[in-house]
Each structure stands twice: as structure tokens, then as C-alpha cells.
Amino acid sequence: MSRSKRWKELSPTARATVVAVAAVDAGTRVWALRDLAGRRPEEIHGPKRAWVIGLSVGSTAGIGPAVYLLWGRKRRG
């Protein structure tokens, strides 16, 4: 069984990758939550509260926000 590496044991490339993925996740999460806040419940697929909880909990490497932005919103107009 292998143990996880500590931050200081990671290569510079691995550190940069972790930081980049975290930044993308944070940015898309903020974008999705702001979009969600500006929409009425009937403009969203599924319960709005469930989306808020799902987007607010844990790191998803940008997958959760991408799912909301691509499939969670109904088209306006």
C-alpha cells in the first residue's frame, strides 16, 4: 500500500498541475453559483437547492460546475 505524497515531495510540475486544477475548479464553481443565483427555479433542471448544495460541497476538479453549466440550465428565451 503506498502513501500519499506530501506537498514538498511533489515535483514542480505536479505542484503546478494541482494549483491549476484547483484554480479552474474554483473559477468554474464561482461562475456556476453566480449563474444559479441569477436564475429562477423554472429555468433550472432539477431543484435549485440541490444544485447549490452540490456546487458548494467538495472539490470536483471542475466537473460539477461543468455539469451544471452544460446540462443543469434550461435555455433562456
Give the pLDDT of the chain (77 residues) as one tens digit per residue: 667 889 999 999 999 999 998 898 899 999 999 999 999 999 999 999 999 998 988 767 778 898 999 999 987 66
CA-based nearest residue to 62, from 27, 17, 16, 36: 27
Looking at residue 5, what is its pLDDT? 85
3-class secondary-structure state, position 72: helix
Q: What nine digits make up the cell of 5?
A: 505524497
Q: pTM here?
A: 0.79
